[in-house]
């Protein structure tokens, strides 16, 4: 039994390292405009040009970490970035092994899933050089923390969860909204509107604040506005308008400072107005259309991964409306976690399925 567990961990790890050895040279220069900007920012940090590197559009954490590697090892910025992502992939596989130990899955299933995951990690480490992979790892640690029985009752655990979400936010600002809404939803679902039991939300927010507020002060010092990330403002405005909203005094794109590679490395200084759906009825309708288009893109992305997503969605809708009993998995008990705290949280999931969808877990 122990040998099988080790094999289901060692083989994906070996496959991941082998992919790097064999194919890294083919993908090492897969650089998109976002990556180019982050590489320049990282290089500025590594050479002590702090205020040039401070940037409201690009999240800072991985730039800091890679700059540290670059400074210590004397690697160039791209090499240091690849080295960081390689190590992050190893941590991912190790973390997945720990998660697999919490769930009773056949060893061959673990082997197949972990091997596929190793291949995906190699791709992700080259396709998304900055931010996304680091944020995903931090959120994976956060989601693993949910399995603790005292997750919603312990101030210490809630504070640690907040720190993890805060670190994730510095990796990619989207994590802030996911973490806050997710934790609040768990409180509402567990305690309904008994607000006396919401006390752990305070240390959770405190953990986030410790990580995010210092960066918000830095952003304010440079740009004069209070925010921890300008990415949402830019993306929303650009998507609604279809283009930049330049100041009247700007007639051509200029780089924001000497070593910048393009104006979009720090476009705040040329932007005249950040549009929102509340600016006009036209933009409000356009925002609704953007939501619908984003949902359609999600469906397309899901089907690119596997048609099983669509089939599962159809099956769930069918069971919800027609109450059709067609089990997809004969016995769900094999997937129940093998520790008490995880069993309790798994029980919450089962109750949610029964209450909200009128489903028997054996039907799934």
DSSP assignment of 65-132? HHHHHHHHH---HHHHHHHHHHHHHHHHHHHHHHHHHTB---HHHHHHHHHHHHHHHHHHHHH--SSH
DSSP letter string over 195-238?
GGGGTTHHHHHHHHHHHHHHHHHHHHHHHSS--S-SHHHHHHHH
Q: What is the mean pLDDT of the chain?
A: 79
Q: If you average pLDDT over residues 343-363, what whole number do you get? A: 47
Is 211 a residue whose pLDDT tops 80?
yes
Q: What is the pLDDT of residue 333?
A: 45
Q: What is the pLDDT of residue 113?
A: 82
Give how far Cα 315 sits from Cα of 123, 162, 300, 318, 320, Å: 31, 36, 18, 5, 9
pLDDT band at 343 (very low <50, low <70, confident <90, very high): very low
pLDDT of residue 269: 67
| Per-residue pLDDT at 119 exceeds 50 | yes
User: Which range is least confidently modeled, 20-24, 60-64, 127-131, 232-236?
Assistant: 232-236
State yes or no: pLDDT of 66 exceeds 90. yes
The residue with greater pLDDT, 209 or 270, is 209
Question: In the chain, pLDDT over 90 holds for what percent of residues?
Answer: 30
Map out the domains of the chain as residue ranges. Answer: 1-130, 147-228, 306-364
Which has more confidence, 115 or 4?
115
pTM of the model: 0.75
pLDDT band at 245 (very low <50, low <70, confident <90, very high): low
State the pLDDT confidence band at 142, using cuts at 50, 70 and 90: very high
More confident residue, 2 or 17: 17
pLDDT band at 191, cuts 50/70/90? confident
Task: Give the gyration radius of the chain's Cα atoms.
Answer: 23
pLDDT in tens, 151-160: 888 889 999 9
Task: Encode 311-324: b = buried (16+ Cβ within 10 Å), e = exposed.
Answer: eeeebbeebeeeee
298-335 tens-digit pLDDT: 778 777 766 666 676 677 677 666 644 444 444 444 44
- How does pLDDT run across 287-297, given as a tens digit for each residue? 898 889 888 88
**Has residue 75 got a pLDDT over 70?**
yes
Instruction: State pLDDT tens for residues 158-181.
Output: 999 999 999 999 999 889 999 999
């Amino acid at each position: 039994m122990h040998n099988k567990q080790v094999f289901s961990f060692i083989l994906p790890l070996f496959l991941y390292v082998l992919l790097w050895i064999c194919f890294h040279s083919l993908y090492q220069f897969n650089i998109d405009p976002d990556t180019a900007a982050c590489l320049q920012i990282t290089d500025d940090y590594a050479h002590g040009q702090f205020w040039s590197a401070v940037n409201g559009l690009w999240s800072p954490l991985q730039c800091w970490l890679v700059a540290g590697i670059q400074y210590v090892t004397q690697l160039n910025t791209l090499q240091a970035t690849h080295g960081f992502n390689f190590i992050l992939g190893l941590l991912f596989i190790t973390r997945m092994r720990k998660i697999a130990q919490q769930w009773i899955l056949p060893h061959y299933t673990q082997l197949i899933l972990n091997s596929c995951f190793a291949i995906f990690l190699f791709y992700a480490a080259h396709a998304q050089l900055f931010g996304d992979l680091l944020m995903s790892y931090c959120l994976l640690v956060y989601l693993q923390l949910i399995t603790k029985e005292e997750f919603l009752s312990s101030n210490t655990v809630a504070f640690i969860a907040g720190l993890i979400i805060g670190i994730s936010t510095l990796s990619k600002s989207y994590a802030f909204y996911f973490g806050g809404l997710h934790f609040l939803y768990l409180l509402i679902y567990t305690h309904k509107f008994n607000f006396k039991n919401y006390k752990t939300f305070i240390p959770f927010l405190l953990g986030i604040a410790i990580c995010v507020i210092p960066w918000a002060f830095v952003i304010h010092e440079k740009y004069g506005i209070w925010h921890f990330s300008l990415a949402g403002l830019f993306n929303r405005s650009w998507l609604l308008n279809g283009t930049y909203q330049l100041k009247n005094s700007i007639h051509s794109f200029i780089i924001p400072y000497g070593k910048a590679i393009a104006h979009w490395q720090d476009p705040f200084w040329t932007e005249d107005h950040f549009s929102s759906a509340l600016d006009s009825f036209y933009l409000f309708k356009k925002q609704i259309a953007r939501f619908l288009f984003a949902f359609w893109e999600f469906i397309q992305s899901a089907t690119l991964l596997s048609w099983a997503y669509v089939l599962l969605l159809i099956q769930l809708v069918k069971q919800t409306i027609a109450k059709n009993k067609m089990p997809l998995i004969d016995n769900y008990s094999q997937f129940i976690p093998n520790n008490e705290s995880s069993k309790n949280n798994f029980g919450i999931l089962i109750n949610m399925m029964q209450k909200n969808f009128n489903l028997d877990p054996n039907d799934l």
